[in-house]
Amino acid sequence: MAKYRSSIERIPRELSQLAFNARVLQEARDESVPLLERLRFLGIFSRNQDEFYRVRVANLQRKVSERRGIRGETAATLLSEIQRRILRDQSSFLRTYHEVLDRLDDRGIRIITERELTDEQSAFVADFFDRKVRPYLTPIILRSAERALSLDERNIYLGVRVLRRKHRRPTYAMVDVPTRSAPRFVRLPDERDGTTIILLEDVIRHRLREVFSIFKVKSATGFVVKLTRDAGLTLEGNVKDSLMQRVEASVKRRRTARLVRLVYDETMPDDLLTMVCRGLQVSDPRTLVPGGRHHNFKDFISFPRPDRNLQYEKWPSLGIPELDRSRSVMRAMRRRDFLIHTPYQRFSYIIDLLREAAIDPKVRRIRVTLYRVAKNSGIVRALVNAVRNGKRVTAVVELTARFDESSNIEFADELSREGVTVVFGPPGLKIHSKMGLIERSERRKRSLYAFVGTGNLNEKTANIYADHFLLTAHRGICEDIRQLFRVIRRSYKSRKTTHLLVAPWSLRPRLRELIRAEIERARAGEPALVEAKLNHLSDAEIVDLLREAVDAGVDVRLIVRGTFAIPADEFAARNFRAISILDRYLEHSRILVFGNGGDPLYFLASSDWMPRNLSRRIEAACPVLDPAIQAQLRRYLDLQWRDNRKARKHDSFGLNERVSAAGPGRPAQESIYRWLAERDERADGAAPTESSSAATASPAASAA
């Protein structure tokens, strides 16, 4: 497939990602956000920055090292701008962190260092250290001439400078902070009846002389170091090796991959920093990022929460009354389609559907795609029990889901051992579609029940990701899903679908047609609309088409959480709006709407508008045909557009200006929850329709 060349300038993806993380930092700085939630946003900011270095910065550094003419020079320039922005954000991050600590202190929650321990607390820490920490500590002595240290990037380390009696030169060492064996946050006795916490690295600092007790130690000082490695996945190996073996080998290679960042305590003595850099073979100064006393702030996502008043108000998970009243999810689906709004409504309906299928004697076959699943997954248990009950079960597992490769290998192996048919899909195509299909014998005929969604089948992330799942028995949609499962397993099968838009085959051409149809309507003086809610937008062809649509007078509305490549300032027009919403839940659903001459077309999609999603992955955009569910999506989007508290405007400079908060307003997520709660209380939901499950007309036909 030829690479599309854009005719307009686009914002580099890397800078757009940094702008998104700056929005996360804005939430941490926002004084209207509860204090413990501000601390959580600092943890999310840190986690995002880690991933940014492992993927985006690592990729740019590879381009520079390859020295491929202008591309390498451009990458070097971009790296310099990235470094400037990251240092700016890091400074803001540290100021915010210390501000939040001061505010927490005012509310009786203190994070102290080893220097602030009382006698009682010091005795507690000494006992905790001896029982829980010391058994896991084995220092690595740093010497001038030796091979590069092979340190695990998942950990943090103390770079230690030891002064010994009768020795003029210090001894240098690295000490692993064992956060996977001991808690990162240790709660201490508190005479004030408050909450006092010390971090694990400060516990070790308090007893650092004990760690080096074989020496005659005058002093031992420790400074936290954190390293980040290139997370690129290269599927090298013998052609006889299975995909699973090659992915497993590549994941192992990450442990010793090239360093792309070394964050260190800026108070670290120069001689110790030199020895640490020598031990890790760090030579590029751009790799060094000065920081504060503590690192790995991603752990603060799980910071203890002793005070409910310092957290978001808890929103109980909502139900769907008709599903709650029905003894069978499939029986309810025979009457009409259902839309689950997670996390506002319970994700467990998906698990209930699979459990029901696992024990229903009339169910013959179950097929699902699995991209990321939770530990101790109810989805996986339902599939395993279905096999034990004699069902044929196929699980399409994506082994190369970034940073979940190891866990996916483990549960793929578990499923295989239990008798599930595990499929990895066609070579070179990552399977990112989110769907499942159940085949049931009814009156000697095969009936199909399906779910298709915008998010992963993961009950953990379903509690914090705003996604949508459609439950449907629509014959045409279910047959398309059945056909797609056949193509995934045997790529030579026909890829033709009537309702689903499937990447990398029909999705991009159909999007092109739909946008061009709106352009023609606008040029003819008719109302025209292109509306999309996405996670990322960077595809060159789509960006050009949207520019053409704006120029033609199409009403273009974009809600894009993360990467946004459009230079929005150049698109300044009354018929163009682009915002990002950041709040307590991660906005993750993909919703597409096309005006279609007054009879709007609605789609739920697994894909963003990026080259990888449209050209290198198996993705599905599913039409929403039930008018009642279309009305739900319309209301959902309208509430997002009314947000004047958590919405930011996209721009070319990453300024993240908030949408005007003049007048009464409410965050979109709160509005959505209250709307769904009112529907739940009325216990009526959307009225059942005959057209949903019986209709077979395709959106392609209605668009024509």
Active site residues: 432
Q: Position of tokens 């449907």? A: 472
Distance of CA 28 to the CA centre of its chain: 18
Contact (Cβ atoms closer than 8 angstroms) between residue 301 and residue 26: no
Residues 6+ apart with CB under 8 A from 627: 689, 691
Tokens of 506: 């029909």
CA-wise closest residue to 344 among 683, 682, 674 = 674
Contact (Cβ atoms closer than 8 angstroms) between residue 621 and residue 501: yes
3-state secondary structure of 106: helix
How far apart CA 663 and CA 95 sit, in angstroms, is: 31
Determine phi and psi for 515, rounding to 5 degrees.
-70, -40
CA-wise closest residue to 96 among 39, 32, 48 = 39
Strand order in the sheet with 156-164: 140-142, 171-177, 156-164, 217-229, 259-265, 288-291
Residue 587: exposed, middle, or buried by beta-carbon count in 10 A (0-12, 13-18, 19+)? buried
CA-wise closest residue to 658 among 59, 158, 22 = 22
What is the DSSP-derived secondary structure letter of residue 318?
B
| Alpha-carbon distances, residue 668 vs 470, 587, 639, 678 (angstroms) | 21, 11, 6, 15
Amino acid, res. 314: K
DSSP assignment of 420-441, as one string? -EEE--STT-EE--EEEEEEEE
Residue 498: exposed, middle, or buried by beta-carbon count in 10 A (0-12, 13-18, 19+)? middle
Contact (Cβ atoms closer than 8 angstroms) between residue 133 and residue 200: yes
